[in-house]
Amino acid sequence: MPANITLRAKLLIAAALGCAGYVMMSPEASQTIEPVRTVGAGDRGEHQATPGRKSPGQEAALRFADRIVKDTAAASLFSTQSWYVAPPAPPPAPVVVQAPPVPAAPPLPFAFMGSYRPEGAVPTYFLTAGDRVYDVKIGDTLDNTYSVDGVRSGQLLLTYIPLKIQQSLAVGNE
């Protein structure tokens, strides 16, 4: 070797020769690969590999199989991750069974207009509902819906017939 080659250059040359020797002497390199045989002209010149032997591409794929990364692993490398855990669902609310509402009579559609009491006769009460005027006596029925029951403490007592609920209407002092 020339004398002007530095120690560093000598080490690099030795390392390169060592690597080349290792590659040449490795067990994989010592195996001989048979060349691809061609089939006769009757088979249109297609190439076929020897049965039982792997093609150089297959051998290379097997040699580097540990370096092949699946798409799913590569895609999940930079995927978004979250450590959020949803709170548990609240317990179901208890079902409260309510009794059906008690039926009630509608408000009285009548307004008191006045009354008339001839001497010795039963009084007549005048009621209005909208634009109609009713002259009623105790015991009468109005529109098959209300019956006139009597008078007590300045109140005319009417009964809502479908529900048999008694209501009162102020008539003043008699």
List, edge to edge, every strand of the sheet that includes 111-116: 111-116, 124-129, 132-136
* pLDDT confidence of residue 45: 45
For the chain, 174 residues long, the average pLDDT of each consecutive 10-residue run is 74 86 67 54 50 73 69 68 90 92 93 91 92 94 94 93 94 75
Six token digits for residue 15: 């390392």
Q: Are the C-beta atoms of 155 and 169 separated by less than 8 Å?
A: yes
Q: Are the C-beta atoms of 105 and 167 separated by less than 8 Å?
A: yes
Six token digits for residue 59: 């051998």
**In angstroms, rounded to a whole number, what is the distance separating the alpha carbons of residues 166 and 149?**
9
* pLDDT confidence of residue 29: 52
pTM (predicted TM-score) = 0.45
* pLDDT confidence of residue 81: 78
Q: Which helix (H) or strand (E) holds 72?
A: helix 71-75
Give pLDDT tens digits for 132-170: 999 999 999 999 999 999 999 999 999 999 999 999 999
